[in-house]
Amino acid sequence: MKRPMLYWVLLFVLGEVLTDKLPLAVMVSLNVLYLAVVCITKSSFINKNRKLLVCGGLFIALGLICVSYNNMSISVVNEFADKNISFCGDVTDAYDIDKGKYGVKVSNLNGHNFHTRFVVVSDVELCPGMRLKARGKVSDFSEATNPGEYNSKSYEYGRGNTAQIKDISIDEAYYPLFRIRTWLYNIRRNIGRSFDMWLDEDDASLAKAMVLGEKSGISEDVRALYQRSGIAHLIAISGLHIALLGGTLYKLIRRCVGSFFVAAVPGMTFIVLYGVMTGLSGATIRAIIMLCVAIGADVLGRKYDSLSAIALALFLMLLSNPYQVYQVGFLLSFGAVLGIAYISPIFEKYNADAFLKGLFVSISVQIATTPILLYFFYEIPLYAVILNIIVVPLMSVLLADLIMISIFYHVTMLSWLFSKVATYIFLIYENLCLFSDKLPSHCICTGRPDFLWVICYYVVLLLTLFFYKRKRKKEMFATGLLMILLFVTFLIPANLKITMFDVGQGDGIYIQTPKKQRILIDGGSSSKKQVGKYILKNGLKYNGASHLSYLIITHSDSDHYSGALELMEDKTIKIDTLILPAITNPDDSYRMLEKTAKDCGSDIYYAKRGDCIIMGDVSFYCLNPEKTMYSDKNQSSIVMWLRYKKFDIMLTGDADAEVERHIINNKVLQDSINSGNRIEVLKVGHHGSNTATSDGLLKACGFSESLISVGARNRYGHPSARVLDSLKSYGVNMYLTKQSGAITIRTDGNKYTIEEFVHNEENQSGH
C-alpha cells in the first residue's frame, strides 16, 4: 500500500501547485471531467484500477480545496492593506528580537473570528506564549523586483504568515494559564546565554543556529562560507539534529526501562517540544513526523517504511500550509530523504564499509537535490560530497558537546573543557570550508535553469532508477547520456540578453553575448543599500555569471559604481577587465576604482571615442568621451553603441544634451543611420533627467523603445515630464524600472522581445 499512498500524496501536491497557477474554475472543471471519465469509462485498465484512479482525483480535489482556502484567507487580509486594524492573538515565535519581529497566531480580527498568522513588528519586547489585544497597520510583504533577489512575500507565505502589522499599539498583554511556549522560550534564552558565556561571538552564533534554530546572529561572511561549501544544512535544525537528539533519547530510555511504549511517550514528547522551541521550520516538522512514525512502528512491532513516513509528512505539512512547496528548505529536506530512500539502495553492496556508505549517501543526496540547488542558488559546490563525509559525523560530537555546555554552564571546569572541544570542531569546519574554497572550480555556476530543465532532470533520473531495478543496462546507458546532455545545454550558445536591473536610483545593466561572454555596465544606487550584494551579485549568478569579461563604469558617480565596487571587493565574481572613461582629471572615486581593480588582479582599459570591442557578432562602439578633460563628470560618461546583427541599442550613462549633440555628429553613427539602420532601443540618459534625451537625439536615431533606470519617489523628480512627453511624441515605448522591476531584452539579432520582471501595463505609456 505504500506506493499508492505516495502517489496519492504527489497528486495532492500536483493539485495544490496547479490550483495556485491556474484559474480556479479551470481546475474545478478539469477535475470534475477527470472523475467523470474515470467513473463512466469501461476500459479494462480503468476497471482494474478504478478505486486508485478515483482516490487520485479526490486527492487532487483536496489540494484544490486546501489552496483555495488559504488564498481566501490571504485575500481577506489583503482587503485591510495599509489600514489600521484591531486583533487578538497568541505570540508563537520571536523571529528577530533585535528588529522586534514576532510571529502571532491571530484568532480575532476587527471583532470577528478569523484565524491567520501575522508578522508583528513591535518596539515592545514580546514573549512567545503571551496573549495580545492590539492595534496596528497592515502592510504586505515586499516582493522581488530583480532576478535572483530575495522574495520576502514568498518566504513569509511559506512560513504561514499572511501579512505584517506595523505601528503596533498594545491594549492588553497577558499570559494564559497554560504557558508551555513561554517556558520553552525561557529555556531557549538560557541555552543561548550559556553559549554566549563560553564561546566567542561567531562560534556562539553558530551554536545557537545548530541547537536553537536562531540564525539571525550569524555573520554574513560565515553564512556565505558555509553555503558556498555545501554544508549550510548544519546551521539549520534538520533531520540530523532530530534523529541525534530525539532518537538517542528514545533508545536510552528504552534500554533503561525495557518498555517500548514507556520510552516512546517521553521520546515523542521531547522531540515535539524541542521542535516548538526551535521554531518548527519545514525541515524540523518533516523530521519530527518521520521520527514519530519510526518510534510508533517500533512500539507496534512493525517494520518502519521510510516512503510511507515521507508521504505522511509531505501530506500533513502541505495540508496545513500549501505555500511551503515553494520553499527551498522544504524542497531540499524532502529531496534529501527521497534521495536516501530511492538512490542510496543502489550502493547497498558497499554498506559494509562505513566510509563508502557515507560517501554514497552523500552522493545520493547530491544527485536528488542538484536541480533544487541550481534553481534557487544557481551554483553547485563541487566538493560538498567529500566535505559532508567529514563534517556530518563530527556533527554528532559537536551537538553532544553543545548540549553539555548548556547543562553544565555553571560548572566552570566542565564548561571550559566542552567549550574547547566545540571551538576546535568549529575551527575544523572553518578551515575545511576555506580549503575547499581555494580549490579549482570550487563552485560551478550555471545560472537558474528553466523549470522545464528541472522536470526533464527528474524524469531522466526516475527512468534511470526504473531501468536499474529492471537490470536493463542499455537503457540505463541511454539515460546516462541524456543526463550528460542536460548539463551540456548550459554551454549551448543562446541569444543576446540585456538586463537592466532595478537598483533604485542608479544604473546597472548586464549583457550576455550569444557566446556566453558577460559584461556589466555600471552597478550602483543612491537609494538602496548594499546593492552589489543583494541585487547585482545574485542577479549575475542567476544568469550564470560568476566571471565577467568586462566591467564598464561609465563615470565615477556613486549611483553608478557603489555596487560594482562591492563586487570587486567581494572577490567571488571574477572580473577580467575594468573599463573606465579616458580622462585626465580623475576624482578620488575614479582613483579608488583603479586601485581596487589592481588589487583584485583585473586589467584596466580607458575607453574613448572611436574605440570598439568586438565579441563575436556583438560589437561595442564607444561614442563618448571624446575629450580628455571634463568639468562635469556626467559629460565624461562612456556612451556605448551596441550592435548585434540588425539589433542596436544605445547605452548613455549620465550623458547630457551637449554630449548627445556630439554623438549625433559621429560619422560612423551617421553613416549607419543614413544607410537605413535604426537604433531600436535607447537607455535614457541620466535616469530621465531634464538635461538629457534631447529632441535632436530622438529624431536622429529613430528609437522604438526606451529603458529608464529610476528609483520610486526619488528626490530628483526623475524622470522629468519633459523627457516623458518627448519620448511619447516620438512614438517611443517606455519601460521604467520603478514600475517594471528588472527589464530584459532578448534578441536573435533580427527580432527582439522585452520582458518585465514585474508586469505593469502603464509602462507602455510611461505613466
Which pLDDT belongs to residue 1? 42
pLDDT tens figures, 548-591: 999 999 999 999 999 999 999 987 899 999 999 999 999 999 99
Mean pLDDT along residues 337-361: 79
Mean pLDDT check: name the lowest of 1-5, 423-427, 750-754.
1-5
CB contact at 8 A, 32 and 79? no
List the strands of the sheet with 639-644, edge to edge. Answer: 612-615, 618-624, 639-644, 647-651, 681-683, 705-708, 733-736
List pLDDT tens digits, range 435-450: 998 898 888 999 999 9
pLDDT value at 338 more than 70: yes
- 766 pLDDT more than 60: no
Please give the pLDDT value at position 575. 96
Give the Cα separation of 200 and 177 in Å (integer).
38
Q: CA-CA distance, 592 to 609, in Å (whole number)?
A: 24
Predicted confidence band of residue 44 (pLDDT cuts 50, 70, 90) = confident
Q: Are 106 and 87 in contact (CB under 8 A)?
A: yes
Per-residue pLDDT tens over the stretch 501-520 = 999 999 999 999 999 999 99
Cβ atoms of 512 and 493 within 8 Å: the answer is: no
Predicted confidence at residue 765, as pLDDT, reads: 39
Selected residue with higher pLDDT from 432 and 346: 432
Q: What pLDDT does 393 receive?
A: 87
Which pLDDT score, from 0 to 100, does residue 3 have?
A: 58
State whether CATH 2.40.50 applies to domain 80-178. Answer: yes
Q: What is the mean pLDDT of residues 302-318?
A: 90
Which whole number is the average pLDDT over 296-310?
89
Mean pLDDT value of segment 391-404: 90
CATH homologous superfamily for the domain 496-764: Ribonuclease Z/Hydroxyacylglutathione hydrolase-like (3.60.15.10)
DSSP code of residue 441: T
Give 352's pLDDT tier (boundaries 50, 70, 90): low
What pLDDT does residue 741 have? 96
- What would the pLDDT profile of 453-481 be if each residue is shown by its tens digit? 999 999 999 999 999 888 888 999 999 99
Q: Is the CB of residue 422 less than 8 Å from the CB of residue 207?
A: yes
Judge whether 337 and 331 are in contact, CB under 8 Å. Answer: no
Mean pLDDT of the chain: 91
CA nearest to 590, candidates 600, 598, 599, 580:
580
Q: What is the pLDDT of residue 767?
A: 33
pLDDT at res. 650: 97
Mean pLDDT, range 348-362, rounded to an integer? 74
Q: Enumerate the H helices of 470-553 as residue ranges.
A: 473-488, 531, 537-542
- Which residues fall within 8 angstroms of residue 411, CB to CB, at 6 or more apart? none
Place 348 in a pLDDT band, splitting at 50, 70 and 90. Answer: confident
Percent of the chain, pLDDT > 70?
Answer: 98
- Look up residue 344 and give its DSSP letter: G
